[in-house]
Amino acid sequence: MNIKLKTVVLFCGFALLPSYMMGLDIKNEKRAIDLDFFAKVKSISNLKENDGNIFFILRQPDIENCNYSSGLYQLIDGKAVLLTENNSDYFFQDNGVIFRDIRGKTDCEKIKEGEQLTVFQKLDLKNQETEEWLRLPVQIEQVAWIDKDHFFYTSSYDHHFEELLKESGGNRQEALKNKEENKNCRIFDELPFWSNGKGDISGLRTHLCYYDKGDIKLLTDTLGTVSSFEISPDNRTLVYVAKKAFYGKVTDEDHLTVLNTVTLEKKEWPLFNKASYENIQFLSNDEIVLTINRSLEHDKIENAGFYRLNLRTGKLTEIYDGSVYGFGNKIATDIGGAGKLKITSDKDGICYVTTNVDYAPLIHISYKDGKVTFLTKKEVNIQEYIPYKDGFLALALVKQQGSEIYFIDKKGNANQLTSINKPLFDEYQVVEPVKVTFTNEEGLLLNGYVLPPVGYKKGKKYPAILDIHGGPNGAYGTVFFHEMQYWANHGYAVLFTNPTGSYGRGSMFSDIRGRVGDIDYRDLMTFVDTVLTKVDFVDGNRLGVLGGSYGGYMTNWIIGHTDRFKAAAALRCISSWISHSSTSDIGYSYTYDYLGTDMWKNNRLLWDKSPLKYADKVKTPTLFLHSDEDFRCYIAEGLQMYHALQQFNVPSRFVLFKGENHDLSRSGKPLNRIKRLAEITEWFDQYLKQ
């Protein structure tokens, strides 16, 4: 495939490296990382174990068909063996592997016409034969199995379609016909009215249902919605999280409900006021562990706490408040991988993956005293894990390699079990990041990194790009990031850090309500100043800046407050808090989280914190990239800033990707991802390499 891009100049004359770069391997000539390198990387997810056998999903971008291919694999003698294609999830039931797959042409046509259908296939591992196992006239999402004839599941409910169904006297075909006739009309009558990656959601609910030998019973209110559930080891208790019936604006608080799976009787546990509940796992048939976020109640941004709840007595015990080690891996990467993280337990406490400054370890929290023990070593970034033998099986990114499966032993050693991506990465010139520490205005010692340009010559200065992560409650680490590595192979130094507001240093560090554009901006500038002092190959006169989402907001903010950057790229950005709060799928809550007010209480503050206010001060040539189905940072955000720069005769360019959403750089169509990276690189080449 031919990709039109300006010639990539590789530096072949290797010079003696500074002492802090001695670890960079330049002995063997390797291939340069190119625009489509990400499409050669396989992501691993949904790691499971059954009777000692290891299973997982492999997914890979498919450039030729401009989509993604996936399949269910088993690890056999250290090799990934394909079992069946086109899978994203699977279960173990009835002495086989159960997965969803619509195979018949007639069934595919029915779904295209709007019919609801779920078909489960069963794979017999002994003879490798697949047969249809169960067919249901509904669209199933989550499933909690008791057996083939009895299980609980969630399914989407469209209030608007149900109204059409009533009008047609229950005739589904007529209702579908009426829906088709009105397909060019979008109806909003609720808030939120759309959701990134899902599209229009006004009127949509998720219901909990019970399947009993062909009979289907609705267990929740038609206008209520369920977000998650978990079933006990003895299959007699189901715990689920739901929002009660609403019409109009969605309710903020969640409700935790316990369901007797035999009698279907329900009991609600009102544990806290305005709390949200997640990550439910059973410790025993009578006790669960879960995370509870009380940010709404406390009116501030904070990590969720970890609790034990006895389902018989209602006794709630805090295990750990989560103030420092929050739940989840928030280290950014653009090569995918991993599924849903879970909390696991042993007799002494709980285990979970956290983000610690710039990596994602597995930790253990003691029931007795809340003591934190790190179960993995610093270079190991856990994407997903399960208990296995006397340790853990884990999907992990280690240093600058792609995802692989590891066995984590009692000492925290990561023993690699697969070589799914390693042969690929070994062929290419992957650069190791250089750590740079700096002290911010509050006296905190922070760290960032610089990727040096491949084969740089001592004494020569190179253009550099400051890359700002999203969030702001996200984080950059030392894992492989394709776009950064591509730029390093294209003759750039790449700078990245985690300013105040980032995830990984506890709730207090993450909470920058009212300080957005202030302390985070100064942290970034201090980091750049420090790099220019400590790293001799970065050219301070040829600096570029870019970021996506919150990083796009910061890019817009930076160019309105300094001219030190010679070029910028604002990706899926925010330019006005006033418009963002009214158009983003999370705008009404996100704006309050980070500014502590709304436009009716303090529109002056929202405008003062909006980059658009300072657009008349911008001198920096800026590229804007957006997607027309980005409902997280709506297209208006990029267009407003672009319009302003054109108004003031600042060189600018706006590129809009059709059919893409907020996640273009991570899961968009492969050809669009290539085009995106090419546009950014050509823009910086134009202003930083001339």
pLDDT tens digit string along 415-443?
Answer: 999 999 999 999 999 999 999 999 999 99
- Confidence at 23, pLDDT banded by 50, 70, 90: very low
Q: What is the pTM of this model?
A: 0.94
- Per-residue confidence (pLDDT) for residue 100, from 0 to 100: 93
Half-sphere exposure of 387 (CA within 13 A, CB side): 10
Place of tokens 């090569």: 335
Q: Sheet containing 305-310: give its strands across.
A: 276-284, 287-293, 305-310, 316-320
Q: Where residue 493 falls among pLDDT bands split at 50, 70, 90? A: very high
The CATH homologous superfamily for domain 432-688 is Alpha/Beta hydrolase fold, catalytic domain (3.40.50.1820)
Three-state SS at 528: helix
Give the model's pLDDT for residue 10: 28
Q: Please report which confidence band the pLDDT of residue 28 belongs to, taking 50, 70 and 90 as the band edges.
A: low
pLDDT of 578 over the 50 cut? yes
pLDDT at 9 over 90: no
Cα 269 to Cα 292: distance, rounded to the nearest angstrom: 13
| β-strands 652-657, 622-627 pairing | parallel
Structural contact between residues 103 and 117, judged by C-beta atoms closer than 8 angstroms: no
Stronger pLDDT, 558 or 222, i.e. the higher one: 558
Give percent of the chain above pLDDT 90: 85
pLDDT, residue 273, reads: 87
User: To which residue do tokens 């016409």 refer?
Assistant: 113
For residue 612, the tally of other CB atoms under 10 A from its CB is: 20
Tokens of 431: 């650069």
Alpha-carbon torsion 623, 626, 632, 633, what sign?
positive
Predicted confidence (pLDDT) per residue in 444-459, tens digit: 999 999 999 999 999 9
Average pLDDT of the residues in 581-607: 95
Domain ranges of the chain: 432-688
Q: What mean pLDDT is predicted for residues 521-548?
A: 98
pLDDT over threshold 70, residue 167: yes
Contact 451, 435 (CB under 8 A): no
